[in-house]
Structure formats: C-alpha cells, structure tokens
Structure 1
Amino acid sequence: MAGIDDQLEKYCQGCGVSIQTADASQPGYVPESAIKNDTVVCRRCFRLKHYNEVQDVPYTDQDFVDMISQISRTNGLIVKLVDIFDFNGSFIKSLHRLTGNNPIILVGNKVDLLPKSTNRNKLKQWMKKSAADLGLVVQEVYLISATKGLGMEQVKEGMEKYRKNQDVYVVGSTNVGKSSFINRLIGESTGTKDAITTSYFPGTTLGFIEIPLNEHSVLYDTPGVINRGQIAHYMSEKDLKVITPTKEIKPRVYQLQEKQTLYIGGLARFDFIKGEKQSFVCYFANELAIHRTKLENADDLYAKHLGDMLAPPSKESVEGFPELKEQSFKIDGQKTDIVFPGLGWITVTGGAATVKAHCPATVSASWRDALI
C-alpha cells in the first residue's frame, strides 16, 4: 500500500483496517511519524479513543456484509452476539448465508438489566426459536453482561466445546456490545485491558481484528453490520441515553380499561382494544416516560405533542422519525409479552384481550409467552 512500500503491511490495533500513510481522508491513515510504533492505531481510532470523535468512512452497509461473508470460506466457530432488548434489530438476517456450515452459538448481552424475576430458561428458549424462525440453527444460547462479566465463564466453556481447536469469529450488529464482550473475554484470559477500541457509535470496526487464543487458533473481531431498521438509528445521542437501560429495569404497572392507550415516549404506542379491566406491566428503561390516554384522544395527542410531552424522539429527531404502523394481537388469556424491539415489552397479565402495538414502520412488534 502507498506510503509503506518498504515495510510489512500493518493493521490498526483498534479497528483492524490496513494501515496507510498516503491519504488522511481514507481509512487506516496514520502520520509517517507513528508508523514505526510497536502498536499502530489509525488516526480515526486514536481520535475515537482519546476525544470520542467519530470520522465517517467511505464504506457502504454492503461492504460490511461482504467482509463478514469471508467467514463462509473458512472453518471455525461463530459467536453471534445480540442485544436482549433488541433481538430482531440486532440480529443479522442473512447470517446463515454469510457463515457457511460453521457451528454457531448465540450470546444475548445485557442480562444484568433484566428484572431479577425474569425466567432465563424461557428467554433462552425464545431466543433459540426466534433464531430458527430467521433461518439460523444455533448450538446453544448463553446470557451475559459484557460490562459486568456475568455469564462469561459459561461462554468460554461453550467456545471450547464447540470450536474443536479451530478459530472463533465474533459477529454482531453495531452497538450490541461486541467490543466490550471481546475485551472482557481477552481481559479475563490474559489480564490485558481494552484489547480493542470500544465505542457507542456504529461501524468502528473496519476489518477483522486478530486476537490469538493460543499458538494454533485465533479469535477474530469482525465488522459490526449496520441494520438500518433499528430504532436506534432514528435517535439523537440524547435520546439514546433515555431509551438504553443502564440499571435493572423496574416494572411499571397500569390498570387499563378497554379503549385506553399507553404511549412509550413518542416511540411506540399500545392500545387496549377489548377485554376486561386488567393489569399491564411495562418493562422499559426506567428513564423512558409512559403516558396514558383514552384511545379516542390518542391520535390527536400524538399529532400535537410528539417531540415534547411525547419524547423521545426529541424535537431534533422528530423530522426523520418514521410513522408508526399498527399490528393487532388477540390474546387467549395466557400471560403474554408484547415486544417492542429496541425498547422493551409490555406483559398482558389478565384474561382474553385484543391489543394493538404501534411501532416505527421499519420495526415490527411481536409476541411471546411471558418471561416473568
């Protein structure tokens, strides 16, 4: 590559991109003065780490998918990381085509934020079935907290069981905690802190980062695949802090009569269409406001107050926020969760009920047997 003709090609220790000194506008740029350092970090990763500043890169979403597809031509274990609170949004829909016949384990991150009464076995079963419905057969499901280290021992044991001395590829959508997961994995094994760059921003890993597992095997951190359907892509940084749980979620209970509506900020809406008066339990980030109104007033309230009383989205995010689309669910009396991807869920606890869930047009609500 231009600028390092007389040297072995080097790769950024932060994002894995090939290092170059010729063009500051392209990925992998470092000044000539830094090229001989033992650890070389591109300017983009340096500024990300020290100034929390993100520079755009000339890669398309498809470029990231093409990078991941290299895995199909290798033999190894795939560790697929998802966000428990945004399973569909953080699931790479085409993963079964990108990874060939390699075995896959599914790792759900942020388990520490779930209420302690959550039935984790039910959650694992739901995740495994949901993956299968999306075309992906997984060997096992693990629940972890990458930030707190919960469940990491079980994941490491699972990796050893299923990789059979082969390489490991960690894959995931942007912002699922992949870098934090790998840093925790490597840190517990070697004592090395912050083995790779971490960021709250999408697309910071631009190539495969190679991390030795032993003298024969390598763990690869792969580029985060961007899913434009995620609700997070319509949020400002301020909004993201409101909708992203940072502490254990506390249930909020609402006694609703039929023809009443709950707004989850201005991001989603829940209508109780028909049924006896009953309790509905909301599980969302503790800072996310919930507003109750009559169904007959719901449309007018949204039109007048989106971005202020019904926020997030904040005023600066309203213009690009998709319209809400409705889905109907008929519940036969069994405790059921109505899941709002990227936000949380509402548990229908009582008898038979007809409800409607309104989500942004790019996101689909779903139902499952109640986890609590």
Structure 2
Amino acid sequence: MINRQEEDIRSCAGCGVKLQTEATDKLGYVPAAALEKELPICQRCFRIKNYNEAASIALDQDDFLRLLGGIAGTKSLVVHIVDLFDFEGSLISGLQRFVGNNPVLLVVNKIDLLPKGINPNRLLNWVQKQTKKEGLKVVDVVLCSAKRNIGFERVIESIGRHRGDRDVYVVGATNVGKSTLINRLIRDYSDLERELTTSRYPGTTLDAVHIPLDDGKEIIDTPGIVYKHRLTEIVPRDVLGALLPDKPIKQLVYQLNAGQTLFFGALARFDFIDGDRQSFSIYISNALQVHRTKLERADELFAEHKGELLAPPSREQLEDIPAWTRHRLNIRRGTDTDIFISGLGWIHVNGASGALIDIHAPKGIRVLTRDALI
C-alpha cells in the first residue's frame, strides 16, 4: 500500500503534475486505486492515452499568466480559441505581450450558435475589427464549430500553413470548446496509440499536457483560464445548462417605452431609462426566461420573486453570487450598438434615436458596449 505521505508527493507519469485524489475537476486527479500502479497517470492523461480525448481543466488567472509567460521563449504557433457567443469575455487580454514573436492563430468557435442566415464575411470582418481593437495581432482568423464539425478543415489547413517546424500551444478560457478542438487535433495529427503506450509523455510541466505529433513536435494543451468577469464562472454548475446555449439562439425582439425593465431570470436586469419608443433584440440562451415589467416595480418584483418567477438561479443559489451592481450606458443617436454582458449574451439597440440604459449584473461581471455583431 502507498501511505498518505508517499501519495502527497507522487507525480503523474504522463504530464508530471502532482497527483491528488480529492477533486475530479482539478489538475492531477487520479482514483485512489490507480495510485497502486508503479507509474500512475492522472485521469486527464489516461483519457488522452486510452480514448484520444483531452479533458478540460481550469487554472486561475495568476497561474495561467505564469504559464503564458514561458511561451515567448519557445518556437511555437499559438492557437487562441475564443467563444463567438462570449467573444470579449473569452478573449485573453494582453496575450500579445506573452507570446513574443510567435504567430497567433485566432480560432473563433461556436459559430453554430448564431441565428441562421448570418453572412460569414460580415462575421469575419467583425471579428477582425474587434481583435484589432483589443491590440491582438493574428496571422489568421478562422470561424468554426468544433462541436458541429463546421469549418474545422480550415482550422487544420491554417495550422498546417503557419506551423512549419513549430510546436502548437493551444490556449483559451474555460467553456470555449477548447477540449473539443484539442481532441480533433489529436485525431488529425498524432499517432497516440503508438507514442503514448511505449513511453512517458514528453511534457513535465505541472499545468499543461504535451501531446506528441508524428513529426516530433508537440501540441501543448494548456488548461482553460478562469475569468471571473464571466457569468459562466460564478454561477452554480447546474445553472450552466440554461446559461450556455447548445443550439442556435433565437432572436427575441421587444418594443419598449422608456421606464420599462427586462429581467433575464435572476442573472441580470435591463432598464430602459430614457429615449424614444424603440425595439431591442435579445441574444441569449433559449433556455433562459425573459420577464418584462415597469421600471417602477422592478425592485419590488425582484425582492419578492427572485429565484422563483425570476430564475435561474434559485433563491438559495443567489446567496453565493455577488450582489448586482449598476452600469449606466448612454447609447448615442445613429449608432449600431450591442450591449454585451459576458457569459449571458447581448442586447442589440435597434433604434436610431439613442437611449439611456442601466444594466444590473453581479459585481465583477463585464458589461460593455460594442459595434453590433448582427
């Protein structure tokens, strides 16, 4: 038997991470029985070895930035995966200063979630414009849906065109579909059955998995970064099913007068403070309920019905979510503008007359205006 002291210092024979038996969603998890093996490997490496499947593991922001800090000294292609539905929330701010002279390929995932009929060239132009605003220089932008296998051949083609003799670092926030794309890369690029059953994986980094490629290079699968400015990171796990869309979102259009309010479950609130009567288009998960009321009744309605009529989350779950803070936004006349709430979706202001809007969302959640996506 292996005693607790020995267990505490054992490392994965695959990726080198310190093994632990408590948290299945954290790095280094291994079932206790597996520690009896001479060369135990963590559950993540086990799934890569036996099922050609990479599991999704998350790091907090500070640990992730320390990991990024080593990329500049490598010769790599950096594949940055973002979620089109949560573009500003999932983009890694400041990535440029960490990657040095290494090229960055931006893979924009989950295009299947947008309503049908959206012009792909418009999407591409919008992404390129927003990326430039964020100060990120990229060698290519590829739109895809890893889950629906849309555009993935373009991802493979672009990686092949820009990689040369480089390793491939794959980086991204949690819930952007990174593990789905990694699994596709594994199947396309790596003979894992031959490589991984005969020797230790070539990586020893504590928080990344090194996956050997047929040409001697590697895919470095980095854990997903946790950004607390996204609603998806602060809600209970059983709320994610309602928050994260899994099929094309349906546009909801509301004709509102000033002095009206929209609740998005108990997750956020939209107040139309001032402006001419106009329409607002809502782009959120189809599983979320929108409730309209008068602004003068909004506080009372929330106090009485949060977690019940206004749900999710439940009243008990709301106790673990930061209290709302208000964001006042002045939408200028004649602009084509989205109001973006990270992890929830966005509201398109359709009117040309301008509007004064208040958004109430949990403290720390990113709320901003941007050029309209649709």
**Greater mean deviation of Cα atoms: 361-370 or 278-287:** 361-370
**Contact 2:262–2:292 (Cα < 8 Å) also in 1:** yes
- Distance in 1 (CA, whole Å) between partners of 2:16 and 2:289 is 41
Structure 1 residue aligned with 2:369: 367
- Distance in 2 (CA, whole Å) between partners of 1:190 and 1:18 is 22
Per-residue deviation at 1:342? 0.8
Per-residue deviation at 1:261? 1.3
Q: How does 1:324-363 map to 2 (within 5 A)?
A: 324-356=325-357, 357-363=359-365
Secondary structure of the structure 1 residue equivalent to 2:69: helix
**Contact 1:18–1:28 (Cα < 8 Å) also in 2:** no
- 1:13-59, CA deviations, whole angstroms, 9 ceiling, x for partnerless residues? xxx34476xx75793667454335xxx63257769x99xxx9x99x8
**Greater mean deviation of Cα atoms: 256-265 or 286-295:** 256-265
**Contact 2:182–2:221 (Cα < 8 Å) also in 1:** yes
- Distance in 2 (CA, whole Å) between partners of 1:152 and 1:104 is 17
**Contact 1:271–1:295 (Cα < 8 Å) also in 2:** yes
- Distance in 1 (CA, whole Å) between partners of 2:149 and 2:191 is 14
Structure 2 residue aligned with 1:136: 136
Structure 1 residue aligned with 2:70: 70
**Greater mean deviation of Cα atoms: 23-32 or 350-359:** 23-32
2:28 alignment partner AA: P
Given the superposition, is the C-alpha separation of residues 190 and 62 from structure 1 closer, same or farther in structure 2, using an over 3 Å criterion?
Answer: closer
- Distance in 2 (CA, whole Å) between partners of 1:170 and 1:134 is 19
- Distance in 1 (CA, whole Å) between partners of 2:341 and 2:228 is 16
Per-residue deviation at 1:220? 1.2
Per-residue deviation at 1:154? 0.9
**Contact 1:69–1:98 (Cα < 8 Å) also in 2:** yes
Q: How does 1:42-53 map to 2 (within 5 A)?
A: 42=42
Stretches (4+) displaced over 6 A: 44-47
Aligned residues with identical type, % of pairs: 41
Given the superposition, is the C-alpha separation of residues 44 and 106 from structure 1 closer, same or farther in structure 2, using an over 3 Å criterion?
Answer: closer
- Distance in 2 (CA, whole Å) between partners of 1:190 and 1:45 is 15
- Distance in 2 (CA, whole Å) between partners of 1:24 and 1:337 is 45
Structure 1 residue aligned with 2:219: 219
Note if 1:35 corresponds to 2:38.
Answer: yes
Per-residue deviation at 1:305? 2.2
**Greater mean deviation of Cα atoms: 303-312 or 174-183:** 303-312
Secondary structure of the structure 2 residue equivalent to 1:131: helix
Per-residue deviation at 1:73? 1.1
- 1:226-247, CA deviations, whole angstroms, 9 ceiling, x for partnerless residues? 2122211221122111111011
Secondary structure of the structure 2 residue equivalent to 1:87: helix
Structure 1 residue aligned with 2:248: 248
Q: How does 1:1-372 map to 2 (within 5 A)?
A: 11-12=13-14, 16-18=15-17, 27=28, 31=34, 33-35=36-38, 41-42=41-42, 61-189=61-189, 207-322=207-322, 323-356=324-357, 357-372=359-374
Per-residue deviation at 1:355? 3.3
Secondary structure of the structure 2 residue equivalent to 1:89: helix
Task: Give the number of equivalent residue pairs.
Answer: 345
Per-residue deviation at 1:276? 2.7
**Contact 1:313–1:321 (Cα < 8 Å) also in 2:** no
1:35 alignment partner AA: E
- Distance in 2 (CA, whole Å) between partners of 1:248 and 1:34 is 46
- Distance in 1 (CA, whole Å) between partners of 2:104 and 2:94 is 14
- Distance in 2 (CA, whole Å) between partners of 1:17 and 1:132 is 37
**Greater mean deviation of Cα atoms: 211-220 or 59-68:** 59-68
Secondary structure of the structure 1 residue equivalent to 2:100: coil
- 1:268-293, CA deviations, whole angstroms, 9 ceiling, x for partnerless residues? 22222233322221111001000111
- Distance in 2 (CA, whole Å) between partners of 1:229 and 1:133 is 19
What TM-score does the superposition give when structure 1 sets the normalisation length?
0.81
**Contact 2:191–2:214 (Cα < 8 Å) also in 1:** no
- Distance in 1 (CA, whole Å) between partners of 2:84 and 2:346 is 11
Per-residue deviation at 1:75? 1.3
- 1:253-280, CA deviations, whole angstroms, 9 ceiling, x for partnerless residues? 2111122111111212222223332222
Secondary structure of the structure 1 residue equivalent to 2:89: coil
Given the superposition, is the C-alpha separation of residues 244 and 209 from structure 1 closer, same or farther in structure 2, using an over 3 Å criterion?
Answer: same
**Contact 1:118–1:371 (Cα < 8 Å) also in 2:** no
Name stretches of at least 5 consecutive residues in structure 2 with no aligned partner.
197-204
- Distance in 1 (CA, whole Å) between partners of 2:288 and 2:209 is 36
Given the superposition, is the C-alpha separation of residues 292 and 207 from structure 1 closer, same or farther in structure 2, using an over 3 Å criterion?
Answer: same
- 1:178-197, CA deviations, whole angstroms, 9 ceiling, x for partnerless residues? 1111102222456979x99x
Q: CA RMSD in A?
A: 3.4
Structure 2 residue aligned with 1:202: none
**Contact 2:60–2:225 (Cα < 8 Å) also in 1:** no
Name stretches of at least 5 consecutive residues in structure 1 with no aligned partner.
197-204
**Contact 1:71–1:100 (Cα < 8 Å) also in 2:** yes
Secondary structure of the structure 1 residue equivalent to 2:263: strand
Per-residue deviation at 1:60? 5.9
- 1:292-344, CA deviations, whole angstroms, 9 ceiling, x for partnerless residues? 11122222222332222222222232112222322313232344322221111
